[in-house]
A and B are shown apart, each in its own frame.
Chain A
Amino acid sequence: MSKVRVLVGTRKGAFVLMSDGKRKQWDVSGPHFGGWEIYHLKGSPVDPDRLYASQSTGWHGQVIQRSNDGGKTWEPVDNKFTYDGVPGTHQWYDGTAHPWEFKRVWHLEPSLTDPDTVYAGVEDAALFRSADGGQSWQELSGLRGHGTGPKWQPGAGGLCLHTIILDPSDPQRIFIAISAAGAFRTDDGGKSWKAINQGLHSQYIPDPNAEVGHCVHHIAMHPSRPGVLFMQKHWDVMRSDNAGDSWQEVSGNLPTDFGFAIDVHAHEPETLYVVPIKSDSEHYPLEGKLRVYRSRTGGNEWEALTKGLPQSDCYVNVLRDAMAVDKLDKCGVYFGTTGGQVYASADAGDNWDPIVRDLPAVLSVEVQTLS
């Protein structure tokens, strides 16, 4: 029988939740790395018991942990992220040139084909890769060397590379996103990169249609259609049907199109999920109601999903990496909040239950469907 493993990164440790395919009863283990910020942890698609976790604190910096038994035991691996060559500068908040400085790993993306290969998206924005299970890291410096690099500016959370999407149909193609530079794509395995921000419109930058400078919060792709991308930008939900070459807004009837998380149904590539957040100055849901919005039409037409979610006095946030889906039928949808709840729906969003409450603030949620 299938099982589901939910990997939760929080401000004060990692938690691993297990259930059978019914997804009613959950066993919670953790905290792993108690007291440390776990920005992200994720499993290998080809060896689900191989997990990678990003562990950090302001006191002790970055540690990378690896598990070979599905999160029961962990071992620290290499944590040296050295920018390739002379790091150069990006823009600081005040517009001055600021040298690239490594701060932390925001996102770990294991290879689709090799459990020892994993990508790391870091702050200050860069993409690293390990081909030896995290024992050493090398920068794919073509990204940071993109001609626009000196113009990149940090968002409020820092200049972070937070999204990495590997194209299952083309091992040379990778999509990444940086706050607040925008989205980029490589078609040659990371040697060269193209800014893919045409069609994004951001009022908070001097040229709202600039090539870079957009605060992309997250991007999602359905593996059966790797040319179709969905984006939650700072404001606006966007869609691309040509691998990011151009984007169209699909916010439609959303009550607010600010937000962080976005994901796609496991079996319906036109079914999307977002969690609208009131505004960029009020990082909580509208009217104190925690509502997931689902579109079955690839955007524009959205319905509120509320059953089982708090509909009064709820002022949590749902961060960019804190939503994921399982591959069961019906598709399970999961998200974590800054209030420490992880909510799950075993019926594609129609009904929700908290599968754990009162964790530290949730930073990331990933789901593994195990056979």
Chain B
Amino acid sequence: MTGSVIRIVLPPHLRTLAQVRDEVKLEVEGRVTQRSVLDALEARYPMLRGTIRDQVTQQRRPFLRFFACEEDLSHEPPDAPLPPSVASGAEPLIVLGAIAGG
């Protein structure tokens, strides 16, 4: 069975680290959730392990957010299904760094 092709937009530092220029397209087997997408992302790009979620606790890093379809999905359970338009590849899952500085 062929999985879903998911689009992910990474923040600039992680695009540099993973050596990708644009959004990432990944095939995800089974249910499309935050966890399954991040598992697939880290499998393809091992250098991203620990940079989006803690390697031990698997908790989202506090200064990052997950947006899709104009919704903040950051506080959704990691095994909750992502919106159908993300699962179909119509919309990307956006990993966003919190704005900070001065």
Using a CB-CB cutoff of 8 Å, which residues 42-88 of chain A contact chain B? 57-63, 76, 79-80, 82
Collect the chain B residues with CB atoms within 8 Å of residue A59's CB. 11, 13, 61, 63-64, 97-98
Are A61 and B51 neighbours in the complex by a CB distance under 8 Å?
yes
A interface footprint on B47-77 (CB within 8 Å = 1, 0 otherwise): 1011110111000010110000000000000
B62 to nearest A CB, angstroms? 8
In the complex the two chains form, what is the Cα distance from A57 to B13 in whole Å? 10
Task: Tell me whether A62 and B98 are in contact in the complex, defined as CB-CB below 8 angstroms, given that A35-B13, A57-B13 are known contacts.
Answer: no
Are B61 and A60 neighbours in the complex by a CB distance under 8 Å?
yes
Are A76 and B63 neighbours in the complex by a CB distance under 8 Å?
no
Interface centre among B50, B63, B97 (most CB of A within 10 A): B50
Collect the chain A residues with CB atoms within 8 Å of residue B14's CB. 60
In the complex the two chains form, what is the Cα distance from A60 to B51 in whole Å? 4
Assuming A60-B61, A61-B51, A102-B56, what are 19 further A-B pairs, CB within 8 angstroms? A35-B12, A36-B13, A59-B13, A60-B13, A60-B51, A60-B52, A60-B64, A60-B97, A61-B50, A61-B54, A61-B61, A62-B50, A63-B17, A63-B50, A63-B51, A76-B47, A79-B49, A80-B49, A80-B56
Are A82 and B56 neighbours in the complex by a CB distance under 8 Å?
yes
Chain A residues with a Cβ closer than 8 Å to the other chain, count:
14
Are A80 and B97 neighbours in the complex by a CB distance under 8 Å?
no
Residues of B within 8 A of A (CB): 11-14, 17, 47, 49-52, 54-56, 61, 63-64, 97-98, 100
In the complex the two chains form, what is the Cα distance from A82 to B12 in whole Å? 27
B interface SS class: loop
User: Of all chain B residues, which has the CB nearest A61?
Assistant: B50
In the complex the two chains form, what is the Cα distance from A79 to B42 in whole Å? 13
A-B pair count, CB < 8 Å, reads 43
Are A76 and B98 neighbours in the complex by a CB distance under 8 Å?
no
Are B47 and A63 neighbours in the complex by a CB distance under 8 Å?
yes
A337 to nearest B CB, angstroms? 21
B17 to nearest A CB, angstroms? 7
In the complex the two chains form, what is the Cα distance from A202 to B2 in whole Å? 66
Task: Tell me whether A79 and B13 are in contact in the complex, defined as CB-CB below 8 angstroms, given that A59-B61, A59-B97 are known contacts.
Answer: no
Collect the chain A residues with CB atoms within 8 Å of residue B97's CB. 59-60
| Sample of 8 A–B contacts (CB below 8 Å) | A58-B63, A60-B13, A60-B61, A61-B54, A61-B61, A63-B50, A63-B51, A76-B17
In the complex the two chains form, what is the Cα distance from A79 to B53 in whole Å? 12
In the complex the two chains form, what is the Cα distance from A62 to B97 in whole Å? 15
Collect the chain A residues with CB atoms within 8 Å of residue B52's CB. 60
B97 to nearest A CB, angstroms? 5
Are B63 and A80 neighbours in the complex by a CB distance under 8 Å?
no
Collect the chain B residues with CB atoms within 8 Å of residue A57's CB. 13
A126 to nearest B CB, angstroms? 14
Are B13 and A80 neighbours in the complex by a CB distance under 8 Å?
no
Collect the chain A residues with CB atoms within 8 Å of residue B55's CB. 79-80, 82
Collect the chain B residues with CB atoms within 8 Å of residue A79's CB. 49-50, 55
Collect the chain A residues with CB atoms within 8 Å of residue B11's CB. 59
User: Of all chain B residues, which has the CB nearest A55?
Assistant: B17
Minimum-distance CB pairs A-B, first 4? A60-B51, A76-B47, A59-B63, A59-B97
Collect the chain A residues with CB atoms within 8 Å of residue B63's CB. 58-59
In the complex the two chains form, what is the Cα distance from A35 to B13 in whole Å? 8
In the complex the two chains form, what is the Cα distance from A63 to B50 in whole Å? 8
Interface centre among B51, B64, B98 (most CB of A within 10 A): B51
Collect the chain A residues with CB atoms within 8 Å of residue B13's CB. 35-36, 57, 59-60
In the complex the two chains form, what is the Cα distance from A63 to B61 in whole Å? 14
Collect the chain A residues with CB atoms within 8 Å of residue B64's CB. 59-60
In the complex the two chains form, what is the Cα distance from A80 to B42 in whole Å? 13
In the complex the two chains form, what is the Cα distance from A186 to B75 in whole Å? 45
In the complex the two chains form, what is the Cα distance from A62 to B54 in whole Å? 10
User: Of all chain A residues, which has the CB nearest B55?
Assistant: A80
User: Of all chain A residues, which has the CB nearest B51?
Assistant: A60
In the complex the two chains form, what is the Cα distance from A265 to B8 in whole Å? 52
In the complex the two chains form, what is the Cα distance from A76 to B18 in whole Å? 9
B8 to nearest A CB, angstroms? 15
